[in-house]
Structure 1
């Protein structure tokens, strides 16, 4: 009797492939979720910075712009607008009077923009005089480009990290489990009634409690099965030998009985003839 499995090498390869696949799949899911969360937080942070820039324009620049516009100091207005253009992601600034642009800095953008309009009113002798409007255009293109760069960096670093972690886990798995599974498979393939005396042993470092872990318990179970098979086989062989002995003795007894019957019949015939 022997236990063989031609599919064992393929099975081991499939287990290894599935292990790597699951590691990569799980790492990819975690990377995707983590990257999505990080990108969302970065996007919210950049948009918040743009909103803060808008508030800074309203609180710090607007009074100076109104005063310069009141005295028609276009040079000062342009200087102020250029200063505002240096704020994060500012794309274009315009001062409009009666629907006509009187001064502008930056480059106009047609998409991915955040627009704010600030009315420019000058208080003259208790009356608010509307001088025009300040149009502020902030572009989200820079935000998207930074997010794209960050995605590429994150994906690159995560790919390297996933590869290293997967390789490390695979090596640890092989050293702790895989090579011992191969030993068990080889033992099972060579297992037969002629080598029931050989127990299964694993080459493992002697550590306290190693016999009580899953592999240790599996080895104990396999060796217990081996002993049970050995005892059953010994009992079966003993029963077979005893049965053969009984059959032989019965055959001999039958032959002796036949010879005895023949001898008795011969004696009876001799007596009859003598009479």
Structure 2
């Protein structure tokens, strides 16, 4: 502070001194100019007369009088036709700057004659010395005044401002929000002064009070928050323990997957695939798929669903460690839809037993419970499909109906158990004759059977072999009018080259052919071939 005050005071003193010295210098120059004008007005006439009269002593006397003035450093008189004559007093004027020249004119009455030239060298050193002397005096006086003024100003500033600010700073440096008691920032002196520093002290005291209140409020809120965090942490720990217990003991297989790599899984998941504890951790999910194709195909199913934020649910055949396969219902769900890189959770339910049961029920629903061959429902479905294909491709299709001859008397005489055995034997013969995967033998109802032969133009030879094979079973039938053993009557129809193949029409025609075989004596084959124009 002292240095700044002194610096500012010194700058002000220098500026004031410079202005004062400049003005004094200009005044001295004006005095010098005035004296030279006086010389011109008072001495030129006398010097001109002395020079005209060649009065050397008088000229020297007047020149010495000029040089005796403090304002003139040297004087020189030049006269003659070309000013070649010189008379000088003081310093030589050759090469000097600032020399003043005055012509000497002598009045002869009708005319004026120039008899010479007076050259005067002003004493500028006197001007410079006077300026320097004044400068030293001003500097000393201004320096003393500036120093005294600075000390007085500093003392006044210290008493009015610095002292009070230092007290406030000392008090506030020890202030701690929430500590016992508030600091007395406003004193009696501040109240009496009632100035800007008093207002500042009052404002700081109010701020101290508010800050202390905020601190106490913050402490209360922080304690409440810590209690809430502790309570929620305890609740969260309990929830995590419960979730971990569920994860470890759930019968459902659970695994966390990222980039199709198993991060961790529960014991049920490992047991489902025959792996030991943590044996699957870090492995690709490829190890539980039956092939690379199945691995990629399943990804094409679930990835679009997951990226849309949905949950993928599907059934899939997966591979155990021992090479056996099991069927599972799998469920995929992303942990964070907005960030798929977080991974997904996979849950598995083993549905192998249920699926086997469903397939068994499906087989039972499509097979005849007594004979083990296809039932009427399966026949109807297969016949509709075969008719659509035959109509679309205009390909051949044959349908035959078989009836065990005089089966009711057989049941009445031999019993229903024997009748069931006979029907099973006939069904075995029919099934063994179905060589192609799309051929079908079915129980049509009671003792009637049906045969479906797609892409077959003439079924007669095959049907005749079947009739003979049934007879070759040699099942005794003492109450048959067609022979001594169980036999069958067969009616068949074959169509080709038509685009209007209807299941009902084919069955009706085959039934008519069966009725005709019975009319003609049973134990025979009657087949009708229907060309395209007839069909």
Query: What TM-score results when the alignment is normalised by the length of structure 2?
Result: 0.38
Deviations 1:62-114 (CA, angstroms, capped at 9, x unpaired): 11222222223222222222222233420111111133344322233678752
Tell which deviates more after alignment, 60-69 or 75-84: 75-84
Q: Does the C-alpha gap of structure 1 residues 160 and 219 become closer, same or farther in structure 2, counting only changes over 3 Å? A: same
Matched, 1:231 2:213: yes
Alignment of 1:171-186 (within 5 A): 171-186=155-170
Aligned partners of 2:215, 2:103: CA distance in 1, in Å? 101
Matched, 1:195 2:180: yes
Alignment of 1:11-26 (within 5 A): 16=1, 20-26=2-8
Deviations 1:194-217 (CA, angstroms, capped at 9, x unpaired): 23334213463764xx22x22111
Aligned partners of 1:31, 1:112: CA distance in 2, in Å? 36
The correspondence for 1:120, drawn from 92, 96, 104, is 104
Q: Give 1:262's aligned residue.
A: none
Aligned partners of 1:216, 1:206: CA distance in 2, in Å? 7
Alignment of 1:57-206 (within 5 A): 57-98=39-80, 99-108=83-92, 113-192=97-176, 193-202=178-187, 204=189
Aligned partners of 2:96, 2:57: CA distance in 1, in Å? 30
Q: CA RMSD in A?
A: 2.9
Aligned partners of 1:40, 1:109: CA distance in 2, in Å? 28
1:220 Cα deviation (Å)? 0.7
Aligned partners of 2:218, 2:191: CA distance in 1, in Å? 38
Aligned length, in residue pairs:
225
Q: Is the 8 A contact 2:103 2:118 kept in 1?
A: yes
Q: Give 1:3's aligned residue.
A: none
Unaligned regions of 5+ residues in structure 1, if any? Answer: 1-15, 248-275
Deviations 1:23-71 (CA, angstroms, capped at 9, x unpaired): 2332233222222222221221111112111211121111122222222
Deviations 1:166-202 (CA, angstroms, capped at 9, x unpaired): 1111111111111111111111122122233342134
Matched, 1:216 2:198: yes
Q: Give 2:397's aligned residue.
A: none
Structure showing the higher helix proportion among its residues: 1
The correspondence for 2:28, drawn from 37, 43, 46, is 46
Q: Secondary structure at the match of 1:199?
A: coil
Aligned partners of 2:220, 2:118: CA distance in 1, in Å? 108
- With CA pairs under 8 Å and 6+ residues apart, which has the higher RCO, 1 or 2? 1
Tell which deviates more after alignment, 111-120 or 183-192: 111-120
Unaligned regions of 5+ residues in structure 2, if any? Answer: 229-535
Structure showing the higher strand proportion among its residues: 2
Aligned partners of 1:224, 1:110: CA distance in 2, in Å? 84
Aligned partners of 1:133, 1:36: CA distance in 2, in Å? 39
Aligned partners of 1:36, 1:111: CA distance in 2, in Å? 32
Q: Is the 8 A contact 1:113 1:140 kept in 2?
A: no
1:221 Cα deviation (Å)? 0.8
Q: Secondary structure at the match of 2:189?
A: coil
Aligned partners of 1:116, 1:96: CA distance in 2, in Å? 13
